[in-house]
Structure 1
Amino acid sequence: MTSEITLFVNPTAGRGRGARAARPAASALRAAGFSVRTVLGEDAADALARARGAVEEGTGALIAVGGDGMVNLALQAVVGTGTPLGLVAVGTGNDFARSLGMPLREPAAAGRMIADALKCGRVRDVDLGRVGDRWFGAVLASGFDSRVNDRGNRMRLPAGRFKYDLAVVAELAALRPIPYRITLDDGAVREVEATLVAVGNGASYGGGMRICPGADLTDGLFDVTVVGDCGRARLLRVFPTVYRGTHVDLPEVSVFRASRVELAAEGVTGYADGEPVGPLPLTAHCVRGAVRVVGP
């Protein structure tokens, strides 16, 4: 493996933590004897093109510095290439890094762990989800949570996460069950009234909400969590249990496992790793060992 590696940096992640985190991570990698170059982009498309260029030039590893959005971009650059992906998780969610057991918001510690893993050859292949030509590492979300994202993204004010808090309140006021048509790889069609459906390659989304607590990054299968028809009061009681992953024991919740999942519902957008992938219907495939990652 070449000793030259690439930091793929989002300078705006975590209100500027991305740019600040790149320095201690780079210092830790250089102290371990690696030559480090940094890739920035003017926008997402430019950043992805630059990351792909670094991979094509034979970088020894691509290290994403930022949150889940930056990690998702990095996945598009390295999938299927054999180039190891490392994560310096300094964003708001960090859910793929959490599933991999990486340090969160500790860039120097993450840099040291990555350096040690690269030197020892401690890399492994993990699964990814694919929707069309888009790849995701954590969760494909749809339903109540995706409608919150839709509404929050449309709001110009207030700034920051508070607008999503307001979006939650607004969507709770408008809460209605969504008629879903779910087709798994057994061919059976399940027509259900649901509050949300989450397709998990990893266990969590939204910064540690364990929506698919049993998901395994190496089993070649998604965990599909279906939260059935909940009224507002019941949903507010269910919501806190998602952080512990105990919601799957409730009667309103069903979990399926499949390598292929088709979701169809009117007026619902799918979000993968927090990024919009388009309106339903969408079909997700779990691809075993799609990406090589550096980690503990």
Structure 2
Amino acid sequence: MTSEITLFVNPTAGSGRGARAAQPAASALRDAGFSVRTVLGEDADDALRRAREAVAAGTGALIAVGGDGMMSLALQAVAGTMTPLGAVAVGTGNDFARALGLPIRDPAAAGRLAAEALKGGAVREIDLGRVGERWFGSVLASGFDSRVNDRGNRMRWVGGRFKYDLAILAELAAFKPIPYRVRLDGGPVREIEATLIAVGNGTTYGGGMRICADAVMDDGLFDVTVVGDCSRTTLLKVFPRVYKGTHLDHPQVTVHRVSSIELAAAGVTAYADGEQLGALPLTAHCVPGAVRVLAPGSVTGI
């Protein structure tokens, strides 16, 4: 394994935390004896091209510095390769790092953990979701939650978490159940009305909302959480429980464990790892052991 490590940095993550986090993470890696080079990009496409070039050149690891958007971009570069992925989580949501038990907004600790994993010659293999050519590590959202994302993205005049709280209130006012066509593991097509359908490789989205609270990232299966046709009043009661994962006990919520899912619904946009995938329909596959991560858990030799 080469001793050169690539830091893949989003300087704008978390209102500038990405740029500030790169230095302590790099220092921790250098203190452990690694040489570090930094990859930036003029835009997302350029950054991904540079990250893929680093992977193709044999970098010892690609360590993403930023939020879930940066982790998502890094996954596109390392998925299906032998290059391990590290995470210095300093964004707003940090759901991918949270699901892996990695430090949140502590770049020096994240750098030390990555260095220890590399020096120990060990990584953890986890599954990823795949939709066409796009990979995702946490949750694919469709329905009420993705419409909140749509509305929040249009609200340029307000920022931060408050923007999405306002978007939730606005979507609740306009809420109607969504007619879905769903196929699980190639079985029969089911026509259902639902509030949302979330496809979880990981457990959380939206900065810690445990929508797929029992998902396991190395079992070869998605946890699909279906929130059924419910009234605004019921939704207001159920939605806050998502933060603790206790919504799974509600009679309007069902969970399916599958390796693939087909979703179709008119006028619904899908998001994965907080990034827009595009309009339904889509088919998502769980790909076992698709990426090697520098994280606590079961260990395999590099």
Partner residue of 1:63?
63
Distance in 2, Cα, partners of 1:244 & 1:121:
35
Partner residue of 1:91?
91
What TM-score does the superposition give when structure 1 sets the normalisation length? Answer: 0.98
- Within 5 A, what are the aligned runs for 1:161-200? 161-200=161-200
Q: Which runs of 5 or more structure 2 residues have no equivalent in the other structure?
A: 297-302
Distance in 1, Cα, partners of 2:92 & 2:190:
34
Partner residue of 2:300?
none
- Within 5 A, what are the aligned runs for 1:99-138? 99-138=99-138
Partner residue of 2:293?
293
Other structure's SS at 2:180 match: strand
- Within 5 A, what are the aligned runs for 1:228-239? 228-239=228-239
Cα displacement string for residues 38-70 of structure 1 (whole angstroms, at most 9, x for unaligned residues) = 001111101101101111111000000000000
- Contact 2:123-2:295 at 8 Å conserved across structures: yes
Partner residue of 1:11?
11
Partner residue of 1:220?
220
- Within 5 A, what are the aligned runs for 1:19-30? 19-30=19-30
* Aligned AA (1:203): T
Distance in 2, Cα, partners of 1:258 & 1:295:
25
When structure 1 is superposed on structure 2, of 163-172 and 101-110 the one drifting more is 163-172
What is the Cα deviation at residue 267 of structure 1? 0.3
When structure 1 is superposed on structure 2, of 232-241 and 264-273 the one drifting more is 232-241
Partner residue of 1:284?
284
Distance in 1, Cα, partners of 2:94 & 2:104:
7
- Contact 1:6-1:63 at 8 Å conserved across structures: yes
Distance in 2, Cα, partners of 1:121 & 1:103:
20
Other structure's SS at 2:116 match: helix
* Aligned AA (1:151): R
Aligned pair count?
296
What is the Cα deviation at residue 188 of structure 1? 2.5
* Aligned AA (2:24): P
Identity score, percent: 77
Report whether the alignment pairs 1:262 with 2:262.
yes
* Aligned AA (2:4): E
Other structure's SS at 2:160 match: coil
What TM-score does the superposition give when structure 2 sets the normalisation length? Answer: 0.96
Distance in 2, Cα, partners of 1:264 & 1:186:
14
* Aligned AA (2:293): V
Q: Tell me how large the CA RMSD over aligned residues is.
A: 0.9
Distance in 2, Cα, partners of 1:284 & 1:49:
24
Distance in 2, Cα, partners of 1:158 & 1:218:
38
- Contact 1:101-1:295 at 8 Å conserved across structures: yes
Report whether the alignment pairs 1:203 with 2:203.
yes
Cα displacement string for residues 162-214 of structure 1 (whole angstroms, at most 9, x for unaligned residues) = 32222111101001000111100151222211100000000111111110111
Cα displacement string for residues 205-224 of structure 1 (whole angstroms, at most 9, x for unaligned residues) = 11111101111111110000
- Contact 2:186-2:261 at 8 Å conserved across structures: no
Partner residue of 1:51?
51
* Aligned AA (2:135): W
Other structure's SS at 2:126 match: strand
Distance in 2, Cα, partners of 1:262 & 1:184:
7
- Contact 2:185-2:261 at 8 Å conserved across structures: yes
Partner residue of 2:252?
252
Distance in 2, Cα, partners of 1:39 & 1:106:
20
